[in-house]
Amino acid sequence: MATTSDFRNGLCLEMNNDLMIILEFQRFQTGRGASNVRTKLKSLNTGKIIDHTFTGGEKIETARIETRSHQFLYRDESGMFVMNNETFDQFYIQPELVENNDLLKDGDSLNIVFHAEKELVLYGELPDFVELEVTYTEPGIKGDTATNTLKPATLETGAEIRVPLFVNQGDRIKVDTRKRAYNERVK
């Protein structure tokens, strides 16, 4: 059990038969009344983001979650196979649990978040940046660099993102997995 004074970003709560993660929160007080806490919560079951206001000092049931480092091995029709970096146990997870999973190539690392009591996979987190090779993109037109124009590019994993005109086929680029966007060219 926790109270609203224990709130922090990333805290996992059990509410309405669902697991919710606090994305952001703000304490406020109106006049002489009790303090309240406005929160933005993300459901781990449905992925919905909701706003909820708690009264100050309200008791909340928390869930213990653990983040463990894993290595992505390969993908097939049954899911994504991963290996725990400490115990070397291999298992598969559903691709829907890992956002932007098409940016992962064999051998990349990712963090998987588990419900500690039930040993249930909640979701997977990619590293913030990955380095990938551009396998196909149209050549840029010489002199067309006055604007910040982007063109589509296919990466070695099959994912498509938009890149600046100067990026060519065969270049290695750094991709921001949170925004699914080009970051920089890699030398």
- The predicted-structure confidence for 81-118, as pLDDT tens digits, reads as follows 999 999 999 999 999 989 999 999 999 999 999 998 88
Domain positions in the chain: 2-60, 65-125, 129-186
Does residue 143 surpass a pLDDT of 70?
A: no
Please list, in sequence order, all residues whose beta carbon lies within 8 angstroms of the beta carbon of residue 147, skipping any fewer than 6 positions away.
none
Q: pLDDT class for 8, splitting at 50, 70, 90?
A: very high
Does residue 1 surpass a pLDDT of 90?
A: no
In terms of pTM, does the model score above 0.85? no
Let me know if the fold of 2-60 is the same as that of 129-186.
no
CA distance 43 to 111: 19
pLDDT of residue 118: 87
pLDDT of residue 89: 94
In CATH, the number for domain 65-125 is 2.40.50.140
Q: pLDDT class for 66, splitting at 50, 70, 90?
A: very high
In the structure encoding, which two tokens stand for residue 64, read together? Answer: 């213990």
Q: How far is CA 17 from CA 14, 63, 71, 122, in A?
A: 7, 12, 31, 15
Count of CB atoms situated within 10 Å of the CB of 70: 22
Q: pLDDT class for 132, splitting at 50, 70, 90?
A: very high
CATH fold label, 129-186: OB fold (Dihydrolipoamide Acetyltransferase, E2P) (2.40.50)
Phi, psi of 96 (to 5 degrees): -65, -20
- For residues 176 and 147, which has the higher predicted lDDT (pLDDT)? 176
Q: pLDDT class for 146, splitting at 50, 70, 90?
A: low
Does residue 16 surpass a pLDDT of 90?
A: no
Q: pLDDT class for 31, splitting at 50, 70, 90?
A: confident
CA distance 127 to 125: 7
Amino acid at residue number 51: D
Does residue 134 surpass a pLDDT of 80?
A: yes
CATH fold label, 2-60: SH3 type barrels. (2.30.30)
